[in-house]
Structure formats: C-alpha cells, structure tokens
Structure 1
Amino acid sequence: RFVFTAGTDRIKDFESGDDEIDLSFLASVSNYNQAMAVAVQSGASVVFNFAEGRLIVDNMRLNQFDSDDFLF
C-alpha cells in the first residue's frame, strides 16, 4: 500500500490489482471519480494534482486505474 498525505510524491512500481493508493488523509477527494477528475496523463506517468499536492505514478495509463486501486 502507498499512502499519500501531501506535498509531491512519486510511485515507481505501482501494480494495478495488487497495490492500493491510500488517499484517506486528503480532504479534497473522497471517491474514485474525484481522484480521476484531477488526474492527467503525462508521458508514461499519471499525475494527480490534488489540492494538497501532486502524486506521480510512473509507468501507468489513466485507463489502467479502477476504484479498487484506491482507499478513501
């Protein structure tokens, strides 16, 4: 599990279906749709631009994420 709280962080080895991104510490998102609304594809990475900071997930595509990849 990867826990994101604030600032800027990078995940280099996320595996959809095996890993989870814990966003429960963020006030700005509380569900999958809110998380994906602030996500953009940037080359081979997905960048989440939350009010609390930026999370970069390397070697992922937007369409590879699903709701089971996150904890809120």
Structure 2
Amino acid sequence: MLVVDGKLLLGIFLLFAGLLIFKFPDIIQYALAAVLVVSGAAAIISSMKKSTSSTEGAGAQFRRVDEKDK
C-alpha cells in the first residue's frame, strides 16, 4: 500500500507548475516560476527529511507535576 504525503504532492505540483511557466515564459512570470520551483523543491526535500526522521525512536516524554505530588 502506498502512503502519500500531502506535502510531497504539493511540492511536486509546485515544481511542475514552475517548470511549465519556464517553458512558456513572460518577463514577470520568471519570478513566479522561480518561486514555484524553489518552494516545490523545498517541500519535497522537507517531506523526505520528515519521513526519515520519523523512523527514529520517540523523544523525551515530559509530564506535569502538580504541587500536591511533590
């Protein structure tokens, strides 16, 4: 079963949207395309980084100590 991360899908969409604008450019659209490509690549990288860090063990667990428990 394939589990799809929403951030990964958004990153792929932004990356392809930016690359499509680069194929049919206008002067102002170069800036938009650059933003889309960079944000798409960043979303893909961060979603992959998140999935590799989730395999690590759980971090420290803290509990609240009330005054009467002291």
TM-score of the superposition, structure 2-length normalised? 0.24
Q: Give the strand-richer structure, 1 or 2.
A: 1
Structure with more contact order per residue of length (Cα contacts < 8 Å, sep ≥ 6): 1
TM-score of the superposition, structure 1-length normalised? 0.23
Q: Give the helix-richer structure, 1 or 2.
A: 2
